[in-house]
Structure 1
């Protein structure tokens, strides 16, 4: 990853243009145009957060980490749809809006405002909060999540309320990908840091009260980036790839994040009851997103499904690295069987297609799963950028490490993460619908697609026209209407 320079040119950053280009208008619209018919049992809101710079970035820009958060919401009920989008207005973003320009540089540039920039004293010299990765609901709180920082609490109308520390219980923040155990209602999370303790974990009860932590992960001895996690009935599963932070190098013009394959990838199995951490060791690989994990009672081992990459690279201007080449080394969908006693990992490639953004029916989290969905590359459009996909793929895992799949080719549409919306009162993954945003590569129009879980290969049963273009990436959830 090259070091930033004073000659940073945002027009040369592919992820600031085209289907990824930010939008600045906040829009409210009702009675959206619907092609097809919205299912009557869809009653709730689909929310998606993603990086969306309010002003032209300065210093550097790394997709998908940099950028202000913007939440897009589509409310569905009785066959009708309405839309709203709002920025996540952190104090730093509010200061930039008063100034009318960017005051903070991208993470790699380390640019921050001084006292003469007119920002409040408590913002001078600080890093900018970036709650632009995900959006979840827990204990009645709607949260815009950052990579590893405090989330921001949002109102039902998507207005920004305040930084969320869970009543002071988690002042350092949380991960962008916490996991909610559907059986216990607990929210499992981690947080990494540049200084000791480099990695901590916590459990929040369904009432939002801290049940455990924040507790250091014993054996995490250097600052590493960890984007996602998995959860089983016994463990938090944390994959520590050798993506290592170097703040001193960043302060001296070098890269703040470097790939060190000689250090290998380590997997921490953190007992939810607070017992000793179990470590497993393997050759270097990178994980952006896990599918799910579960305990295997017959032999005490842990099964982890995830999308594997050979290395980490972020969105620089002239990258030809693995993550930016559509013809990159495959072996994406992978299963790892981890032995907590021996500390070993046995990996098996389930499919070699270029895929990302894996999701399951969240009611199966931390337990054995069979079905999953991903955004996929059809292979027909070699000009797609990293993070851009033109198909959706569904896998049926038969329990023996084999995967059969169904593909829906989206044609001229670039699609995002598929999210499952179960039909009320049902318990099977074929009873419900998959939702995703999609943008037409020919005219820039964006749609919310609704695909039937029972027969997704035949494509959407409904397409909801979004009144603004929705930039590609990143994460969201279906939140059914609460009683």
Structure 2
């Protein structure tokens, strides 16, 4: 129900995720040629795209990072030695209405406020749409992904917002921000959580963009849960159902919308991709934001999953000690037991694990992550590179706020790429590191024309080779 009064503005200066390297970027720009230090790899052709929460106007009510905030997509294009840049807001109806008004109309999602007809016209009573988490290309569609809603289509040629999409019905009830694309088949597999029964569904879309499975209930849940990411193997969808529960009754009486219930433990759903019944496994309580990858064990002894494990979801649960994270490998055994072991716990606040996307669903050797390094800044400032076969790790710490690393296949040499912002001068750069020697620092650094706020998820989109 709408509240009687428009919420007060958020104090940006005292909001960690609205100031400093996180401060919103209101400028949209296009630059055809950017300065490069170092040497770009020969034959590098494609685009690095990144999405992230970026409120179009100063927020009102509240701002819960990373869920609140309008989407802004950044594109860094590479074309045989020339580098370009553009950024655009994802223009939902809410962004368009606020641009017409010149100020924020919708509050944060936890406020329970919806605007009146006097403020929002025909959009009265709605909540803000938030396609601000990830960017995905599949089946001819370029999609700005939300946390648990339908994505928005973008024009690949210029990032203009086109329309919402249900992806041929596969996302009829929405999708989380992290669908997975099987590189062997081109199939996209997705899931979504909802506040009403059946609480959890999964769907599939073939390589051409046609839905091959519309939302299908995952049996076994009796209340709504938050699940941010998934893993995929050749045989299974893997969902870690950690005990972060939507508590609607508490929210209606002024309490928290999300409740951390460690006594429930963590449940793991193995959903056969052929539609067979779901298998449930149980283990100790922990929280997962992001998976690196998963694969069926070649000897048939279950499934291996690599992910960043948190003791609890910091920011969404009150606990006496700070949340801690560890890059972890879990083996899901056929007898229903779960074995978990640390791959690395040497870094602080480790997150955003990525692999070579061409290896999704298969065994992999290298994982890159982001963490706090020796500079001990508030933001993540180091890239870590883990060699699972050798049992070693190395890091590169440039002393800037660094973002999620993306694997970039090359003609002669593969690379990792990431955007970083120097907190001393607020200049943003794109760093390209050799995948076989990342700790030596960038082989090329691209100066970006504007500051890119510290954000979330991206992708490397290779440019198709002309026939």
CA contact (8 A) 2:432 2:444 kept: yes
Please list, as runs of the form range in 1=range in 2, the aligned pairs for 1:87-106 lying within 5 A after superposition: 87-106=89-108
SS of the equivalent of 2:108 reads coil
Distance verdict in 2 for CA 1:321–1:67, change over 3 Å: farther
Deviation at 1:72, TM superposition (A): 0.5
CA distance in 2, matches of 1:106, 1:32: 36
CA distance in 1, matches of 2:364, 2:10: 45
Matching residue of 2:213: 212
SS of the equivalent of 1:97 reads helix
Matching residue of 2:223: 222
Larger mean CA deviation between 287-296 and 388-397 belongs to: 388-397
Please list, as runs of the form range in 1=range in 2, the aligned pairs for 1:311-460 lying within 5 A after superposition: 311-314=312-315, 328-330=323-325, 332-339=326-333, 341-352=334-345, 353-354=347-348, 355-381=350-376, 383-384=377-378, 388-398=379-389, 403-411=391-399, 413-424=400-411, 431-460=413-442
Deviation at 1:254, TM superposition (A): 1.6
Deviation at 1:236, TM superposition (A): 0.4
What's the Cα RMSD here? 1.8
**Is there any run of 5+ residues in structure 1 with no aligned partner, and where?**
none
User: 1:140-195: CA deviations, max 9, x gaps?
Assistant: 10000000100000002100000011234422111100110000110010010000
SS of the equivalent of 1:461 reads strand
CA distance in 2, matches of 1:59, 1:320: 25
2:167 pairs with 1:166 = yes
SS of the equivalent of 2:219 reads coil
Matching residue of 2:287: 286
Matching residue of 1:25: 27
Aligned length: 456
Matching residue of 1:258: 259
Matching residue of 2:464: 482
Distance verdict in 2 for CA 1:8–1:423, change over 3 Å: closer
Deviation at 1:10, TM superposition (A): 4.1
Larger mean CA deviation between 351-360 and 135-144 belongs to: 351-360
Deviation at 1:221, TM superposition (A): 1.9
CA distance in 1, matches of 2:29, 2:320: 37
2:225 pairs with 1:232 = no
CA contact (8 A) 2:145 2:152 kept: yes
CA distance in 1, matches of 2:54, 2:324: 29
CA distance in 1, matches of 2:316, 2:59: 14
TM-score, normalised with respect to structure 2? 0.94
CA contact (8 A) 1:64 1:315 kept: no
Matching residue of 2:69: 67
CA contact (8 A) 1:148 1:175 kept: yes
CA distance in 2, matches of 1:406, 1:279: 36
CA distance in 1, matches of 2:427, 2:44: 23
CA contact (8 A) 1:62 1:314 kept: no
SS of the equivalent of 1:358 reads strand
Deviation at 1:372, TM superposition (A): 1.1
**Is there any run of 5+ residues in structure 2 with no aligned partner, and where?**
1-6
CA contact (8 A) 2:10 2:58 kept: no
Deviation at 1:220, TM superposition (A): 2.0
Deviation at 1:472, TM superposition (A): 0.5
CA contact (8 A) 2:260 2:316 kept: no
Matching residue of 2:133: 133
TM-score, normalised with respect to structure 1? 0.91
CA distance in 2, matches of 1:10, 1:442: 19
CA distance in 2, matches of 1:379, 1:221: 44
CA distance in 2, matches of 1:74, 1:262: 45
Matching residue of 2:124: 124
CA distance in 2, matches of 1:211, 1:18: 45
CA contact (8 A) 1:396 1:404 kept: yes
CA contact (8 A) 1:61 1:315 kept: no
